[in-house]
Amino acid sequence: MILIGLTGGIACGKSTVSRLLAEEHGMAIIDADLVVRELQMPGTACMKKIEKQWPQCIKAETGELDRLALGKIIFENPDARKVLGRIMNGPIFCALVKKIMQLWWRSPRGAVVILDAPTLFETGTLTYFISNAFVVACAEEKQVARLHDRNGLSEEDARQRIRAQMPLAKKRQLAGYVLENDTDDVATLRRQVEESVSWMRAQSSYRLTLMVSALCAVVAGSAVGGVLLLCK
């Protein structure tokens, strides 16, 4: 299995690229944003910690997370982003690795799976699993315009959110493939995505196989250790 890490800047079109890869090229998608939402459902361990830290970000009538309120806090306050990272990063990593392992076992040889992860480079650990990184990028002015049109953000708020992320210039340097999405024409983006598929299929599965094998060895070792303890 070839695992491609898909990431990019806010409002660069990563989600649309992910959807096109799934719908038009039949690729399985591991969606980190969806995992985060599952971990932040009312009553989960992560949500209890978030509620304790930021009670004003919980909707009283439903117990659900007010994402706009929390987003405003973490984009304005670097220390708050670090606190949220300490709450979420470990559970997110474990959930994503579990999904990677499940797909690794059941996917045919040479299949391409997409790990759609906005903070792929920021968190770092998942880069050890991927075959290569695919970055969707665009000009900052285009990001600002899209955030205004899509989210109703002012220019100041849009730039604040952009600069809260790793600079796109750095992500471009770390990528194996960069798709520049400065147009809002879906047909153009569709063609760019199609052109990227042959590059994805040419990547090696060696790193992922190595990591999965190492994890299996750790799990097996833990199981053997448990049996030995029971037999003492």
pLDDT, one tens digit per residue, over 21-40 is 999 999 999 999 999 999 99
pTM: 0.88
Average pLDDT, rounded, for the chain: 91
Residue 174 has pLDDT above 90, yes or no: yes
Considering its fold, how many domains does the chain have in total? 1
- Residue 168's domain comprises 2-211
Q: Look at residue 162 in the predicted model and tell me its pLDDT.
A: 94
Residue 220: is its pLDDT beyond 80? no
Answer yes or no: is pLDDT of 142 > 50. yes
* 203 located within any domain: yes
Report if residue 217 sits inside a domain: no
Question: Is 218 inside a domain boundary?
Answer: no
CATH of the domain at 34: 3.40.50.300
Q: Report which of 158, 166, 160, 128 is spatially closest to residue 141, judged by C-alpha positions.
A: 158
In a domain, 227, yes or no: no
- Do the beta carbons of residue 158 and residue 144 sit within 8 Å? yes
55 falls within a domain: yes
pLDDT, position 216: 81
* Interval 80-126: pLDDT, tens: 999 999 999 999 999 999 999 999 999 998 899 999 999 999 988 89
28, part of any domain: yes
Give domain status of residue 220, yes or no: no
